[in-house]
Amino acid sequence: MTMNTRSNFHATNILAPTLPLASQRFRKCSSLFIAQCLYTHQPLIISALATSSQPLLKAVCISDGHNEQPRLLHGDMLIHTGDRTGNATYVELQQQLDWLNALLHKHKVMIAGNHDLLLDQAFYMHNPRQTGPENDAMRRKALDWGSITYLDDSFATLEVRERWLRCYGSPATPQYGN
């Protein structure tokens, strides 16, 4: 009886694996591929922008806070892209809005995530049991947004450092069913 001592495991070098071709990476996830290309060439882009007479814009982007209130870098604008709350209650949301409003960023933009369902009017109307009596329409209207710009499939135009910036935000997260 002969035993095959060579397995498929040894066919590839695990210490130096073969990288997929650029075309394969693009087909697998085009947005990630493009983001990685842009990030790789970021120094070239920044050096080209540095010659501009306009000051650079510093945006701080965060998401998935789930009721946390971390220390953040300062910037011209803060963009929160979803999941401020953990359990989607108005008490949690108002606490997070108060925290965001206390931050020093001149502009604050917020987009809801799948944990912020109480901001989704369609979900609210079709799922009254899940939203509960404590999450009624009056409480929704009573939220104090302060200086926060909330984007719900909408645009906002902000003046930031002597230029206009147009932002679009959508809370749609189809992979989570909303």
Residues 59 and 115 in one domain: yes
Residues 105 and 141 in one domain: yes
- pTM here is 0.66
pLDDT surpassing 70 at residue 12? no
Residues 102 and 48 in one domain: no
Is the residue at 7 inside a domain?
A: no
Is the residue at 12 inside a domain?
A: no
List pLDDT tens digits, range 144-165.
999 999 999 999 999 999 889 9
Residues 42 and 58 in one domain: no
Residues 65 and 26 in one domain: no
Query: In the prediction, which pLDDT does 121 show?
Result: 73
Helix (H, G, I), strand (E, B) or coil at 159: strand
Phi-psi map region of 72: left, alpha, beta (phi>0 left; psi -120 to 50 alpha): beta
- Looking up residue 137, the CATH number of its domain turns out to be 3.60.21.10
Is the residue at 103 inside a domain?
A: yes
Residues 48 and 112 in one domain: no
- Cα(112)–Cα(139) distance, rounded to whole angstroms? 17
Which range marks the domain in which residue 31 is found? 22-52
Residues 158 and 103 in one domain: yes
The structural domain count of the chain equals 2
End-of-domain residue from the set 52, 73, 95: 52
Query: In the prediction, which pLDDT does 172 show?
Result: 79
Angle at CA 137, nearest 5°, toward 147 and 113? 55
Is the residue at 147 inside a domain?
A: yes
List pLDDT tens digits, range 71-95.
999 999 999 998 888 887 888 999 9
Residues 44 and 129 in one domain: no
- Cα(166)–Cα(158) distance, rounded to whole angstroms? 6
